[in-house]
Amino acid sequence: MEEISPLADTKEFKQERKSAVRIIIEGRVQKVGFRNWMQQQATQMHVNGWVRNKNNGSVEAFLYGNEESVRNLIQASYCGPAFASVKRVKEFPEQEVPKNNAGFAVLPSG
């Protein structure tokens, strides 16, 4: 009979899966506090990256960190802040996941 250590399920013994995704959020997502909302959500969820307004009226974000946390932030982006009206969230998985924990920044529009 195999003996299982009580520590086997602790986070320190599990390999944490990382992911990086660039997303484009479309709809009424500018001038509704979307960037600040996303920065707050990302900080609470321990997701790194950045967010910025695009000239075409959408919001672009680059998210990286724990795979589950990144996925949760993407899911939250479908609703966004109170006055947003999200029509679509496009996801573009990135091949490389940055290794540093740089926090989450609001970048100038671009």
Q: Which residues are catalytic?
A: 35, 53
Token code pair at residue 54: 């695009």
Neighbours of 77 (CB within 10 A): 23
CA-CA distances (angstroms) from residue 107 to 13, 15, 49, 90?
36, 31, 10, 19
